[in-house]
Amino acid sequence: MLRLLNIEIHKLKYNRASKILILIYFLLLTSIALIAAIKFDVGPVKFHLAEQGIFNFPYIWHFNTFIASIFKFFLLLVIVSMMANEYSNKTLKQNLIDGLSKKEFILSKFYTVIAFALVSTIFVFLVSIILGYSYSDFTEFSIVTTDLEYLFAFFIKLTAFFSFGLFMGILVKRSAFAVGGILIWFFGESMLKGYLFWQFKDLENTSERVNSIMQFLPLESISNLIKEPFTRLSAVKTVAKQVGENLSKDFSVQPLDLLIVMGWTALFIYFSYALLKKRDL
Amino acid sequence: METILSLKNLDKRFGTIHAVNNLSFDIQKGNVYGILGPNGSGKSTTLGIILNVVNKSSGNFSWFNGKLSTHEALKKVGAIIERPNFYPYMTAVQNLELVCKIKGIKSSKIEEKLKTVNLFKRRDSKFRTYSLGMKQRLAIASALLNDPEILILDEPTNGLDPQGIHEIRQIIKDIAANGTTILLASHLLDEVEKVCTHVVVIREGVKLYSGSVDEMTASHGLFELKVESNQDKLISLLSKFEGILSTKIENETVIATLNKPVSAVEINNYLFKNGVVLSHLVKRKPSLEQQFLTLTNKIS
């Protein structure tokens, strides 16, 4: 396993474009901390975002993993290009001739995906711990360790998303088209969602029925893993209550969602391998 | 003798095209093999199959008597197919380090191999800045990194200038002289004739001949004859002579192919007695090229 990971790191570390994207990604992850600096102090209106409870344990786990997952597209570019470039440079062929098996090739990419997801998760954990201890109102150990499943969900989410990128890279063989392909897939899922809403528009529980189907699609299930954290914030809740809206949404990580996403990850990796095995290079 | 590679009834179809048709041959240790065939005859496909990049349709092949799986066996093989494929953003040394990691060998031989192919001075230049000849030489260095049991080369001089062709051939000859087994696919016959001990001739995926180069070129030879006038009489006389298989005219020279040993004295004597005086008479062994053309034209 280490040998395969080592091979992949060797390929990445000399690639300037990948290095820059990875750097930007981690800078953006760190920039979550900059939210703390958002502060309005105009006469009577005093507003300091960090004081609004977004960095309170355990809410911070939810908030930070959600924000951090927005930046995953930078790493997606790295993943897609590291796969597709093997085709366009024909180095995949050379790797196989040099004695890498097709299985090892896919595994080396998958290990890299896991490594990226793991490092991101650890990074977000560290940033959150630091921010939390600086701004949280509660720092009791039992509260700090509550809701850590968001970190696990974040890890699974990234692994699945990057595996999808890996699969598209193999399927399409060209970086730009593979990224385009992912966008098209996304539009496809959105259109299906729209169609389902239209189909079920006369039923009373429309959105529940739509979700019961949509939750099985890859991108939708990936984005379902960590639900948007904003309406959970107590500040927002207070406002909503005054308006009279009911916010009894379940924000926790659902085991079924985790299962679906892990299922897709397995399928993407398996299909990548099957495609590579079947193809003549 | 130790068998390095063995092909049995190998078959490959691309849709309606039958690229490799029931191909069988063995590669023995220490020999230099040439796979000969016109463009599109299935040479590269055959090499692709044994190198794990093309899937066979049916048949079998085994490396080292089947003692190793294909990808494990390939770690002991050095191969260059078609264009050199490396990471354009890495330098020569970085690319070779990666090959070492894949093959699971120490990177201590990189310097030596780069010197062998005369690239040591440019070792820290990025691959994309290399000329085609340099890329091809780097590919050879990469194939030699593990001191391979067998070196497989597919059209190694394709697209190179005469200087480059000469350099590559010299490197191949040096490697062959060290006793390394080589499998060389080419459509350039003089290339094969110069370095190979054995040949496999294929055309449209079918094996036409396999054996040593000497046996292939060993026939009773041919005569080149010329007369000032009365060529028709010469041809009719030749066709009556026992031992002459066929005659044909090439650039005003009559070529008579033999099917048993005939000396130049005998033929000259016979023609002179029958009133034909030759202006030119040469007895020659056929070149590999002529043998190859004879073989590949037989079917068509």
**pLDDT, tens only, A25-39:** 999 998 887 877 777
**pLDDT, tens only, A4-16:** 999 999 999 999 9
Which chain B residues are closer than 8 Å to A15 by Cβ?
A: 87, 89
Would the CB atoms of A10 and B101 count as touching at under 8 Å?
yes
Would the CB atoms of A100 and B85 count as touching at under 8 Å?
no
Give the three-state DSSP class for A219: helix
Domain positions in chain A are 2-278
Instruction: Name the one residue in this structure whose structure tokens are 């009791």.
Output: A140
B residues 218-247 lying closer than 8 A (beta carbon) to A: none
Instruction: Name the one residue in this structure whose structure tokens are 């609004």.
Output: A52
Gap between the Cα atoms of A81 and A88, Å rounded: 10
Q: Which domains does chain B have, with CATH numbers?
A: 3-217 (3.40.50.300), 222-284 (3.30.70.100)
Residue A184's alpha-carbon distances to A14, B15, B78, in angstroms, are 31, 30, 42
Which chain A residues are closer than 8 Å to B83 by Cβ?
A: 90
Select the residue of B48, B87, B98 nearest A89 (Cβ to Cβ). Answer: B87
**Percentage of chain B exceeding pLDDT 70:** 98
Instruction: Calculate mean pLDDT across residues B115-134.
Output: 91
**pLDDT, tens only, A175-233:** 899 999 999 999 999 999 999 999 888 888 888 888 888 999 999 999 989 988 887 77
A106's CB contacts (< 8 A; 6+ apart) are A269, A272, A273, A276
**pLDDT, tens only, A243-258:** 655 556 678 888 999 9
Per-residue confidence (pLDDT) for residue A244, from 0 to 100: 57
CB contact A100 to B (< 8 Å): yes
CA atoms within a 13 Å half-sphere pointing along the CA-CB vector of B216: 26
CB contact B17 to A (< 8 Å): no
Which chain A residues are closer than 8 Å to B46 by Cβ?
A: none
CB contact A48 to B (< 8 Å): no
A268's CB contacts (< 8 A; 6+ apart) are A160, A163, A164, A166, A167, A218
Gap between the Cα atoms of A64 and A122, Å rounded: 12
**Percentage of chain A exceeding pLDDT 90:** 63
Per-residue confidence (pLDDT) for residue A261, from 0 to 100: 96
Would the CB atoms of B71 and A100 count as touching at under 8 Å?
yes
Q: Is the peptide bond before A58 cis (omega within 30 degrees of 0)?
A: yes
- Residue A35 has a CB neighbour count (10 Å cut-off) of 15
Helices A59-70, A102-135: crossing angle, 10 deg rounding? 130
pLDDT at A169 exceeding the cut of 70: yes
Per-residue confidence (pLDDT) for residue A237, from 0 to 100: 58
Would the CB atoms of B54 and A281 count as touching at under 8 Å?
yes
pLDDT at B299 exceeding the cut of 70: no
CB contact B101 to A (< 8 Å): yes
Would the CB atoms of B87 and A14 count as touching at under 8 Å?
yes
Q: How confident is the model at residue B298 (pLDDT cuts 50, 70, 90)?
A: low
Select the residue of B14, B53, B83 nearest A96 (Cβ to Cβ). Answer: B53
**8-state DSSP, B58:** E
CB contact A94 to B (< 8 Å): yes
Instruction: Calculate mean pLDDT across residues B93-107.
Output: 94
CB contact A16 to B (< 8 Å): yes
Q: How far is A83 from chain B (nearest CA, A)?
A: 13
**pLDDT, tens only, B44-67:** 899 999 999 999 999 999 999 888
Would the CB atoms of A90 and B77 count as touching at under 8 Å?
no
B284's CB contacts (< 8 A; 6+ apart) are B221, B222, B223, B224
pLDDT at B237 exceeding the cut of 60: yes
Per-residue confidence (pLDDT) for residue A236, from 0 to 100: 57
Per-residue confidence (pLDDT) for residue A165, from 0 to 100: 95
Instruction: Calculate mean pLDDT across residues B201-212.
Output: 87
Q: How confident is the model at residue A281 (pLDDT cuts 50, 70, 90)?
A: confident
pLDDT at A98 exceeding the cut of 90: yes
CB contact A201 to B (< 8 Å): no
Per-residue confidence (pLDDT) for residue B217, from 0 to 100: 67
Q: How confident is the model at residue A238 (pLDDT cuts 50, 70, 90)?
A: low
Higher pLDDT, A126 or A46: A126
CB contact A1 to B (< 8 Å): no
Question: Which residue does chain A place closest to B142, by CA atoms?
Answer: A98
Gap between the Cα atoms of A139 and A134, Å rounded: 9
**pLDDT, tens only, B151-205:** 999 888 887 888 888 888 888 888 888 888 999 988 777 778 778 889 898 888 8
CB contact A90 to B (< 8 Å): yes
Select the residue of A97, A278, A280 nearest B81 (Cβ to Cβ). Answer: A97
Select the residue of B79, B88, B90 nearest A97 (Cβ to Cβ). Answer: B79
Higher pLDDT, B73 or A46: B73
Give the three-state DSSP class for B224: strand
Contact criterion met (CB below 8 Å) for B129 and B92: no
Would the CB atoms of B86 and A94 count as touching at under 8 Å?
yes
**8-state DSSP, A155:** H
pLDDT at A273 exceeding the cut of 60: yes
Judged by average pLDDT, the poorest of A60-64, A192-196, A236-240, B124-128 is A236-240
Question: How much is the mean pLDDT over chain A?
Answer: 88
Which chain A residues are closer than 8 Å to B14 by Cβ?
A: 280
**If you count residue pairs, one on A and one on B, with CB atoms under 8 Å apart, how many are there?**
79
Kindly provide the ipTM of the predicted complex, given to two decimals: 0.86
Instruction: Calculate mean pLDDT across residues B33-37.
Output: 89
pLDDT at B218 exceeding the cut of 70: no
Would the CB atoms of A99 and B86 count as touching at under 8 Å?
no
